[in-house]
Structures are given as C-alpha cells and as structure tokens.
Structure 1
C-alpha cells in the first residue's frame, strides 16, 4: 500500500469510529424526527413533544449543545462525523452514479438551497411558533405508528417529509445531495466554517490542480462551501498546501 494511502487511512479511521458510535446513538432520534415528529421543524421542540417513545425527549438538549460547541471549534464537522444522515449519505456516495457531473454554475446555485431551507425553518420556529403539521401518535409499534403518522398528517407535513426522504435518496445519484443542497442544519453550520477555531485551509502554495475536490465526496475544497473538515483531501495534495489552521496560525 502506498504511503499516501496508508496515511489517509490512519487519518480517517477515527472519523469512521465516531460515525459508527454517533449512528448507534442518534439514528433512532433521526428516524423519529423525519417520520414521526409532528412539528414543522423537527429536533427543536422535543421538550413539548407528545411522542413519548422518541429518544429525543432525553437527547435533544445535549445534541443541540454538542452541535453548537462543535460548530464553534470545528465548523461543519458535525455533518461529516456525527450526523446519521451524513453517514448514510457517505455510504450512498460510494455507489452514486453522477459523481462530479454537476456543472459549477448549477452547483453554485443549488448550494444556496440549504440557506433558503434554514431561513424557512427559522421563520417556522420563531415567527410561527413551530406549528404541528401531523397528529401526534403518542405511542405504538414502530412501523404501525409511522404509518399512522402518514395517514393523519396534513399535506404540509407530507410534503416536507417526502422532500427530505427524496433528497436523501438522491444521494444514490448525486453524492450528498441532501447535505449539500437541502439540509437547513448544514446551512446554519456552513456559516460557522468561516469562524471556527480549527479548520482545514489551503496555503498560497496551492497549484489549483483540483486534486482535493476530485478526492472529496462532496466535490469541494478546504474551507469552501460544504467542506466538513474531514481531512480526506490532505494527503493527495502534491505540494502539501492543505493543513489544519487556527486563529493563532501564522500566515
């Protein structure tokens, strides 16, 4: 095995461990948020949620604090390390059939979708007090309760859920479709990438060879849109222009 590949494996195995542990801990919470949460914006009104089976009633506050702290230190790293949907998208990207086939213009426009989604979620939560769009099924068998939620939800909840599921499934065609173009959490965390304490950046020695974006499953470069600070691109740089920087790093 070439040294570069060995170095990449050594660098990335902690991420795989974190992904596995986070998926084990948060996957059920994510499932409930998508398929059973009665609120317009899931994951943020768990204290008032009538769905007694949802693990979010115990996890939501810890998770939100964890996301906020990780954003301050590592920008959008939560998306690439701990988000269950991000982990599923990572798996889907391995078989996606349209890798790096989106034109730069279309990609630039589509990337604004997550900011629009974030603004919409903020409006629903703050201005409309996060309305309920589904009849809360308090308890019940796992699959049957999900089916009942779909049966009794209104068209707004159904539309939101179908869009989310379809966007995640599109990751089988376009890698990380939901994460790159739709996810409101990703849109909020993207703003933190600019100010986070630790992040991968490119130095002035960069040759613009684009090997980093070709290696990246999200087809981006360090410190640019959708970078999750995973470090997968570092060892492919021919001039070692990619490194972790902090506010105290000399430029």
Structure 2
C-alpha cells in the first residue's frame, strides 16, 4: 500500500466516523441522497456539498473516492471479496450492459428531483437498511455497484467532473498494454482506451499498480499518444 492509498484510507475512515456521529449512527442512503441533492439548512451539510462540488470542478469525483461514507462501505465489501477469493482481477459486468447501465444513475437523479418537486416523501428505517443491505451485497459481487450505476450524488458530481482541471492521464509511450490498471479499477473504466473522467472516482488504484509509471494526475492534460 503506497502513500496515496494510505492517505485515502485515513480520509475515508475519518469521514465515515464523522457521518456516523452526525447522523446518530443511522446510515440512510435515502437520507444521504435527500440531504445532498435536495438540501437542508444544516450548516455542515451545506459546507460538505459546496466542498464536494468545488472539488469536482478542480479534481473530479474526489468526494466519491475519498469522502463519501457509503463509498467507504462499498469499498470495504469489494476488497473483502478480493481477499477472500484471492482475486487477481476485479469482477466485471458485461461491457455492453455496463456501457448502458452507467447512465441509469442520471435517471435516478432526475427521479429524485421530480419526487421532491411533486412532494413525494420516502423515508423509514426499514427501507433505509434494506437498501443498504441490497447494495452491500451487490457491491460484494460487482465492485462499487451503487456508485457506478445508481448513486444520484455521483451522477451530479460527474457532470462537474467532466470539466475538472486536474485529470487522470495515460502516457501511451510508457504504457505496455498489460491492462493491470483496468483489472484493478473498481469503476470498470477502460483506462488504456479512453479514461472516462466522469466515471473515475480518483481512488488511484490504477496508478498504484502501474509498474511503468504510465499514469499521472495533472492539470489540463490529454493522453500522450505513441508516435
């Protein structure tokens, strides 16, 4: 585990503990989405939202990979499967299905906004924990399932991330095509073909496993092509 991974683990843990304390140890996906997308008057929530959006403009979906309490949980469950089954390659969804399913979270975002505008209220402890259990199971099978395909917070931040200043960059002059980065990417991004900055959660797992130093994170850059 390199320094970036250690820092990320520390950041995720601290924000997860903070979330537990703020919510009184009641982790509700529905409540989290409502507070972030719809908003409330709690100063801490407003500040968190502003920070997440500003970070998305600057460096992409940093909130998803470093600060989100649910991202922390889903990260733990897929890492648990990797260790239990000693996986060398992360499980993937069929590419054709994956390429369509990543847009579903935008549908969820629209539905959340429409539900709010129409006055529909969704709440309840049972629903909250059933949803959490469901996505933990799905996240155990397919890494970061909720973050990839369902989370409306992620979809909102990905819109800003499209215009981020700092981007993940592939130097094709150094890349040897081993695709080790892709096998370790929890978001199933085809890194050696095209880095989808909107889907990338800046976990930097790809950079940590690249033995050729072909991946970097810097401002206003494009992939370096082989001549």
TM-score band by shorter chain is: 0.7 to 0.9
Structure 1 pair 26–163 and aligned structure 2 pair: CA distance change class (3 A): closer
- 1:40–1:131 Cα contact (<8 Å) kept: no
- SS of residue paired to 1:168: helix
Alignment map for 1:165-180 (pairs within 5 Å): 165-180=133-148
Residue 54 (structure 2) pairs with residue 69 (structure 1): yes
Deviations 1:84-114 (A, max 9, x none): 0000011001133793242111211221111
**Structure-1 residue corresponding to 2:100:** 109
1:163-184, CA deviations, whole angstroms, 9 ceiling, x for partnerless residues? 4541233212211111111100
Alpha carbons 2:77, 2:136 under 8 Å: kept: no
Q: Kindly name which structure, 1 or 2, has the bigger radius of gyration based on alpha carbons.
A: 1
State the TM-score, normalizing by the size of structure 1.
0.71
Using a 3 Å threshold, how does the CA distance of structure 1 residues 89 and 36 change in structure 2: closer, same or farther? closer
- Aligned residue for 1:200, secondary structure, equals strand
Aligned residue for 2:76, secondary structure, equals helix
1:137-156 matches, cutoff 5 A: 149-150=124-125
Q: Which residue of 1 aligns with 2:152?
A: 184
- Name the structure 2 match of 1:53: none
Q: Structure 1, residues 108-155: CA drift from partner, whole Å, max 9, x if none? A: 122111111112123233x33x54344xxxxxxxxxxxxxx448xxxx
RMSD of Structure 2 on Structure 1 (CA): 3.1
User: Which residue, out of 132, 135, 141, partners 2:121?
Assistant: 132
Query: Given that residues 113 and 182 in structure 1 are in contact (C-alpha distance below 8 angstroms), is that contact kept between their aligned partners in structure 2?
Result: yes
Gapped regions of structure 1 (runs ≥ 5): 1-7, 48-56, 135-148, 152-157
- 1:243 is displaced (CA, Å) by 0.8
Change (3 A) 1:77 1:36: closer
Return the TM-score normalized by structure 2.
0.77
